[in-house]
Amino acid sequence: MSSINFADQLIDEMKRKQSRVIVGLDPVREHAPESMQKIALTYHGMGNREIRSASRWGIREFCERIIEATDDVAVAYKVQIAFFEKFGSMGLAILERLLEEYEDKLFIIDGKRGDIGHTSGAYAEAFFYSEEGDMAPLLCDAVTLNPYMGRDVVDPFMPYLKKDKGAFVLAKTSNPSSSDIQDIALNGVTVAESIAAKVSEWGADCVGDHGYSSLGLVVGATFPEMARKIREAAPKSIILVPGIGFQGGQANDAAAFCNDDGQGAVFSFSRSIIFANKFGPFKGRYEDAQYPEAARVAAEHYRVAINDIVGKP
């Protein structure tokens, strides 16, 4: 395991690859290549051991080819764990293998964990490592956390964040109904801004050599005006930004998530990259079997688009 602060690891990758692009690994069956869909549909219809194995290898191959095609652009890979959990032990076995096989890449597991006490500690040990140093079954570099229950959610992760791991706390999510809770204001300060200020405070002891904390924030690309307020409240927090592309966020708004020097944010793309032959500006330009090539072109497209707005990392 690395002994380098997670924020420093991420920023080093950004500088090395001149990129802020994070690729989301969401192997949604209905958007996947036809060959993979047929395997998965057969599995769901029959469920025998041989078909289970074939389905598992199909998902694994899809993710592997995406990783290998986008490696020179992606600064990290964000795994939405639900798309693996839905396959039960088979899906988690795929994820374990991917994390082990590509241990030299940075992985963020997007599970939005939000519990307390021993339960939260168990989540930390599942994704990081135990206090005794035992490796976690889903060993990754960072996770996403839901702060609804307060600092008690984050505390069990803090010993890891002070070493080499990271976490991103939900502040303002990209879904339209996020305003139901996150835009509620008390004395003119919204819940989202309050979370940002708390995260800035909680992560003060986790700041690395590059000046950013390993405790970051999640802010959806669909709310750039709110992002400016959050950025002001948490200047040393790296902001993970989902939602450009399919969810309606615009690359032209990238500056709202960065500090004045253009630093402090990374941008996550899932469907717009891994299914670029079906979504986004490259829709229909590539055959089904060419999804890795389409993903590589899309990743580079977004890398350049964001750099054109805020400069190179």
- 15, 17, 78, 112: which one is catalytic? 112
| Type of residue found at 168 | F
45: its two tokens: 């219809």
Cα–Cα distance for residue pair 243/61, rounded to 1 Å: 25
- Which residues, other chains included, contact 135 with Cβ-Cβ below 8 Å and sequence gap of 6+? 129
Exposure string of 89-127, with b = 16+ CB inside 10 Å and e = fewer, is eebeebbeebbeebeebbbbbbbbbbbeeeebbebbbbb
| Type of residue found at 37 | Q
Distances, alpha carbon 78 to alpha carbons 180, 215, 231, in Å: 26, 16, 22
The answer to whether residue 15 is catalytic is: no
State the virtual CA torsion across 136, 271, 64, 48 in degrees, nearest 10. 80
Backbone angles phi, psi at 135, to 5 degrees: -70, 145
Q: What is the CA radius of gyration of the chain?
A: 19
Comparing CA positions, the residue from 116, 76, 113, 83 lying closest to residue 240 is 76
CB 31 within 8 A of CB 278: yes
Exposure string of 271-298, with b = 16+ CB inside 10 Å and e = fewer, is bbbbbbbbbbebeeebeeeebbbbbbbb
Distances, alpha carbon 203 to alpha carbons 141, 157, 162, 212, 237, in Å: 16, 11, 9, 9, 8
Comparing CA positions, the residue from 123, 156, 17 lying closest to residue 77 is 17
Hey, which residues are catalytic here? 112
